[in-house]
Amino acid sequence: MQQPQEAISLDQVKGIIRRQKGIFITLFLLTLIAALSIALLLPAVYRAESTILIEEQQIPQEFVRTTITSYVEERLQVITQQIMSRPRLQEIIDRFKLYPKMQKRHTKEEIIARLRADISLQTISADVVDKRTGRPSTATIAFNLSYQGETPDIVVKVTNRLTSLYLEENLRQREERVSNITTFLKKELKELSQFISKLEEQVSLFKQKHGRELPEFNTVNLQAVNRLTRDLEQNRMQLRSLKERRIYLEGQIATVDPVQSGNFLRSDEGRLLLPPSEKLKALRLQLLSLKASYSDKHPDIKKTEREIAEIETQNPALTKSTNGLAEKHEQLEKLIRESKELQARLGDKHPDRIRTEKEIALLRQEIDNFTQAPPNRASAGDPAPSTVSNPAYINLQVQIRSTTMEIAAMEAAYRQTAKNQAEYQSRLENAPLVERDYKRMLRDLDQAQLRYTDITHKLTEAQVAQQMEESQQGERFKIIDPAQTPEKPFKPNRMAIALIGFVLALGLATGVCALRENLDTSVKSTGELARLTGVPVLSITPIMENLNERRKRYWRYSLTAILLLGLVIAALVAIHIFYLPLDILWIKVMRRLGI
């Protein structure tokens, strides 16, 4: 069973101090001297700092809207990367001859890395309301820029140089950005203007080519088609009437003797008796006229056909001499009907209809020739044209020729009207396709013009923003606290190093002494001796010092006292030189104590 450990008495503590005081004092003094040496020998590092305010746009956003939409934190990082580039830092090192001790033993990259480490940038934020979203957020309103070095004058110069670089780079980037935006918008506006001119030219050419086929002319074209349809119907009716009149006149002229004669044979009832040839012609012309007005089953047509058949049976020689004109008229009517059917089914330009029109023209020419120069009547006993002397016959001839000319003019008018109708009809048929292409072109033109207006508005805003940036009325960096020459070092904190050295020396000495005491197995007291031997201690013989031992002890104490006094004096001198003059420090202490 483990015995409980006895409490350390005051005599034991005195014994420990007596035994370990030499090593304690030695370690304490050595450690404290090393800490003080470090505090005194470390080079002084000075720090210069400037505060730069991020000033908002001077002109309200409602009047002039800036074209720079990036956040200030982003721009600040971009500017920092620009300034921390190798050429910029090398220029600063060469200009102020920084780090002369490192020039011979280190590379340029290491020196530049050292400069980057000595430069510090800290942003200052505040709680604001974001103008874009309307929500509370944290925004950077300023930043501190500092540089640390061993020479106060150089430190403040480098800091001021860095500050000016930040201001210049911010101004340059903002002006360059707004200038680039303005240049880009001008280029886009020029290209868009050329594109609009090209579209307008296309629309103009399209209207010239399809002017009468545009949607706004649909009503006019439809009215024209209806009007021309009515005109065609009227022309057709007039043409039919003229043809019927010509057939009637040809029938009348067939019953009139070209040679005037005073005596004509008449029947018992007083009716005029005609020769068989004249009667056959009259009946055939009468048959054509009846067929043009009535159907084939009409009683008059049946009666006329029977009379013609009887005369042809009795006089076979008269058939060929009087048959040509009627057949030509029948063939002409047939071809006209076929031409109309082909026009309705195939159109005006179909080859079959063109061929039919040519046949109609030739047949009409033959009819006109036959009318103007009737066939030789010698075979029937008729007089030659030179012997025509009957005024009635001559009058009928003139009427027939006039009617033929009217028919030709009416047919020409009919063809022209049909052509015009087909043209207007084609316009109506092409109108949907033309309207689709025309609307597409107008839509492209409207979109281009809207984009042109939008870019013009943006260009105006960009130019105003550029003028604002050039006059430095936009967001800018403003120095509110320029760098000052530091009056005391930024580091090291010599007092803190000395205090840390004192605590470290005290702890190290105490720890080593405690370790030595625990490792020492010698008998240190009468109680320990009694426990080990089991025999009570009867008497104690004290240490007997001679003169030589007393002198050594005296010199040790004297040396320790001198060393402590020198240490105190060195500390006071260090405080006076590196921290604060002693008289000022004394006044501050007295004020703190209220004396």
pLDDT digits (tens, 9 = 90+) for 48-102: 999 988 877 655 555 455 545 456 778 888 888 888 999 999 999 989 888 888 8
Whether 468 is covered by a domain: the verdict is: no
Q: What is the pLDDT of residues 321-341, one digit of tens each?
A: 444 555 566 667 777 777 777
Whether 529 is covered by a domain: the verdict is: no
Residues 51 and 36 both lie in one domain: no
Q: What is the pLDDT of residues 499-508, one digit of tens each?
A: 888 889 888 8
Predicted confidence at residue 134, as pLDDT, reads 66
Instruction: Give the mean pLDDT of 404-433.
Output: 83
Whether 152 is covered by a domain: the verdict is: yes
pLDDT band at 3 (very low <50, low <70, confident <90, very high): very low
Predicted confidence at residue 156, as pLDDT, reads 92
Query: Poorest-confidence range of 9-18, 112-121, 133-142, 294-303?
Result: 9-18
Instruction: Give the mean pLDDT of 273-289.
Output: 62
3-state secondary structure of 44: coil
Q: What is the pLDDT of residues 258-277, one digit of tens each?
A: 655 444 444 444 454 555 66
Decide if pLDDT at 378 tops 60: no
- The Cα 219–Cα 454 span in angstroms is 37
Query: What's the token pair of residue 178?
Result: 């707004």
Q: Which long-range contacts (CB under 8 A, 24 or more apart) does 407-411 make?
A: 407/239, 407/242, 407/243, 407/246, 407/364, 408/364, 408/368, 410/235, 410/238, 410/239, 410/242, 411/239, 411/364
Instruction: Give the mean pLDDT of 275-283.
Output: 65
Average model confidence (pLDDT) across the chain: 75
Sheet holding 119-129, edge to edge: 119-129, 136-149, 46-55, 476-481
Residues 14 and 122 both lie in one domain: no
The answer to whether 493 and 34 have CB atoms below 8 angstroms apart is no
Burial class (CB within 10 angstroms; exposed 0-12, middle 13-18, buried 19+) of 41: exposed
Whether 8 is covered by a domain: the verdict is: yes
Mapped to the 3 state alphabet, what secondary structure does 525-575 carry? Answer: CHHHHHHHHCCCCCCCCCCCCCHHHHHHHHHHHHHHHHHHHHHHHHHHHHH
Predicted confidence at residue 103, as pLDDT, reads 83
Whether 199 is covered by a domain: the verdict is: no
- The Cα 353–Cα 337 span in angstroms is 11
Decide if pLDDT at 147 tops 90: yes
Residues 568 and 441 both lie in one domain: no
Instruction: Give the mean pLDDT of 171-193.
Output: 84
Residues 35 and 127 both lie in one domain: no
Predicted confidence at residue 410, as pLDDT, reads 84
Residues 290 and 325 both lie in one domain: yes
Whether 414 is covered by a domain: the verdict is: yes
Alpha carbons within 13 angstroms on the beta-carbon side of residue 102 total 15
* Rounded to 5°, angle at Cα 547 from 545 and 548: 95
pLDDT band at 220 (very low <50, low <70, confident <90, very high): confident
Residues 403 and 517 both lie in one domain: no
CATH of the domain at 171: 3.30.1890
Q: What is the pLDDT of residues 515-534, one digit of tens each?
A: 887 777 776 666 666 777 77
Decide if pLDDT at 31 tops 60: yes
Q: What is the pLDDT of residues 445-465, one digit of tens each?
A: 899 889 888 888 887 777 777
Query: Poorest-confidence range of 34-43, 375-384, 385-394?
Result: 375-384
pTM, two decimal places = 0.50
Burial class (CB within 10 angstroms; exposed 0-12, middle 13-18, buried 19+) of 369: exposed
- The Cα 424–Cα 401 span in angstroms is 35
Query: What's the token pair of residue 157?
Result: 């110069």
Decide if pLDDT at 395 tops 60: yes
Predicted confidence at residue 263, as pLDDT, reads 42
Q: Name the residue among 570, 486, 456 with its Cα closest to residue 32.
A: 570
Residues 254 and 152 both lie in one domain: no
- The Cα 448–Cα 444 span in angstroms is 6
pLDDT band at 28 (very low <50, low <70, confident <90, very high): confident
Residues 54 and 9 both lie in one domain: no
**CA atoms 290, 296, 301, 306: torsion sign:** positive
pLDDT band at 232 (very low <50, low <70, confident <90, very high): confident
Q: Name the residue among 211, 164, 162, 225 with its Cα closest to residue 417.
A: 225
The answer to whether the bond into 492 is cis (omega within 30° of 0) is yes
The enclosing H or E element of 446 equals helix 391-470
Whether 206 is covered by a domain: the verdict is: no
Residues 416 and 510 both lie in one domain: no
Residues in the chain: 595
Residues 165 and 128 both lie in one domain: yes
Please tell me the total count of domains within the chain: 4
Residues 412 and 557 both lie in one domain: no
pLDDT band at 160 (very low <50, low <70, confident <90, very high): very high
Percentage of residues in the chain with pLDDT exceeding 90?
Answer: 5
Residue of 384 and 169 predicted with greater confidence: 169
Predicted confidence at residue 132, as pLDDT, reads 61
Predicted confidence at residue 369, as pLDDT, reads 62
Query: What's the token pair of residue 269?
Result: 């009832």
Percentage of residues in the chain with pLDDT exceeding 70?
Answer: 72
The answer to whether 190 and 400 have CB atoms below 8 angstroms apart is no
Predicted confidence at residue 461, as pLDDT, reads 76
Decide if pLDDT at 247 tops 80: yes
Predicted confidence at residue 290, as pLDDT, reads 62
Whether 265 is covered by a domain: the verdict is: no
Residues 7 and 58 both lie in one domain: no
Range of the domain at 186: 46-190+474-481
